[in-house]
Structure 1
Amino acid sequence: MRPIIGITTFNETNSRGSRFNSVNYNYIKAVHMAGGTPVLIPVTDCDERIDDYIDLVNGILFTGGVDVAPLYYGENPIKEVHSIDAKRDEFELKLFNKAFGTKLPILGICRGMQLINVALKGTLFQDINSQIPDSLGHYPNNIQSDVLYHSIEIVENTILANIFNSKEININSFHHQAVKDLGEGLKASAFSKDGIIEAMEGVYSNGQIILGVQWHPEGLVVKHEEFRKLFGFFVEKCSL
């Protein structure tokens, strides 16, 4: 049986006022291509449903989206904070804590990486351009998700280095926030040229694996095959 990968979703309201839980299809496609069976996890305020999903899946992918509320890492928001989803924050923090407590493999992408860091008592830069002097571009306008935008340097002897077998790769980029202080048990595994943490990982004594990447590899897996290896590694860990 293929490993079942839970994929988080976000709240959305259309022009007629109908509410949806949605996710970019690229996440689903990337998990399919890696040999996993994707299951979407809707935002819910019922804690018992979280337990049901934890029992169902073999790993969880925390997806991108709006900003994590700064209050969760002890700060008030600056004016550059775009938007937050209080229900999603609360739900995903509970979901992460349950998944972490049950040793499930966890992958975080963009906001997902930031959410994981906050859940493990780390902090974020609320806005790269206003808080990091001489920062480079990280959130281009009018660019496709499969376009490589800037380079990153991968730290030696990390999971990411083993996955890509390279010291430097080019990635896409769609974020205005970034990890500042790393959460408990996490270490940086890649940096952009301006010093921003672009990937992190945690390998725990119980064998649990946590990976976080700041870019969007799910948008690259078709045009740039090397990024399939990231999802392949994650799905393989979920099958153990």
Structure 2
Amino acid sequence: MKPVIGITTFHHYYEDKEILCGVDNCYVHSIILAGGVPVLIPIVHQWKAQLQYTEIIDGLLLSGGGDIAPLLYKEEPLKETAGISWERDQQEISLCKEAYEKGIPILGICRGLQVMNVAFGGTLYQDIEKQVPGALGHYPLYTGMDQLHHAVEIQRDSKLHDLFKEEKIYVNSFHHQAVDKIAEGFKATAFSKDGIIEAIETEHQQFAMGLQWHPEALVTKHPKFLKLFSGLIEESIKYKKKVR
């Protein structure tokens, strides 16, 4: 049996009414291509029920989306912070902690990286342009998601380097926030030219990796990015064999 990969979702609202709970199909497509079975994890009002997904999934993919509430890392919001959903923040942080505690492999993408960092005590730059002097462009306007935008330098002693076997790659980029203080137990494993952290991973043996770019949007045009999802699947198979 293929490993089951839970993918977090978002709420879409129209005229203040909740009409959709879903995720970009690129995440689903990438998991299928890598050999996994994707299962969407909805945002539910009785959010503790969401933790039951850790009983059935073999891997967790924290998807992208809006900003995390700054109060969750003990800051007041800047005016540039937007798209906050307390329900999603609280559920995903709890889900991330539960999955990590059980040893379930985790891959965080863009917001997902930031969720991982905040979940374990880290902080964020609420707005790179405002808070990081000399920062380069990280959120290009009118640019397709499958377009490479800037370079990322990968640290050799990392799982990320093990996957790519490269010290420098080019990625897309659609974020205005980034990791500031790294959570205890994690380390930065990739940086952009201006010093922004582009990837983190746990210092322990288990697979818990966060990426600031969007590989799910690149796998069709740039197949090497499928390695990231294949890495998640490989670790999820190991987990499945151990506990199922």
TM-score of the superposed pair, with normalisation by structure 2: 0.95
What residue number does 2:111 align with?
Answer: 111
2:83 alignment partner AA:
S
What residue number does 2:242 align with?
Answer: none
Quick check: 1:24 aligned with 2:24?
yes
1:39 alignment partner AA:
V
Q: In 1, distance between residues paired with 2:167 and 2:101? A: 33
Quick check: 1:157 aligned with 2:174?
no
Unpaired runs of 5+ residues, structure 1, are none
TM-score of the superposed pair, with normalisation by structure 1: 0.96
Q: In 1, distance between residues paired with 2:139 and 2:56? A: 35
What residue number does 2:88 align with?
Answer: 88
- CA RMSD between the two structures: 1.3
Quick check: 1:214 aligned with 2:212?
yes
1:7 alignment partner AA:
I
What residue number does 2:236 align with?
Answer: 238
What residue number does 1:76 align with?
Answer: 76
SS at match of 2:100: helix
TM-aligned CA distance change 1:29 to 1:126, over 3 Å: same
Cα shift at 1:15: 5.8
Q: In 1, distance between residues paired with 2:45 and 2:60? A: 18
Q: In 1, distance between residues paired with 2:191 and 2:115? A: 18
The answer to whether the 8 Å contact 1:45/1:91 transfers is no
Cα shift at 1:18: 5.0
Cα shift at 1:14: 3.6
Of 89-98 and 115-124, deviating more is: 89-98
Structural mapping, 1:132-211, within 5 Å: 132-204=132-204, 207-211=205-209
Q: In 2, distance between residues paired with 1:150 and 1:102? A: 35
Cα shift at 1:51: 3.3
Unpaired runs of 5+ residues, structure 2, are 239-244
What residue number does 1:13 align with?
Answer: 13
Cα shift at 1:148: 0.3
Identity of aligned residues (%): 46
TM-aligned CA distance change 1:160 to 1:97, over 3 Å: same
The answer to whether the 8 Å contact 2:51/2:94 transfers is no
Q: In 1, distance between residues paired with 2:171 and 2:39? A: 26
Cα shift at 1:2: 0.4
1:162 alignment partner AA:
D
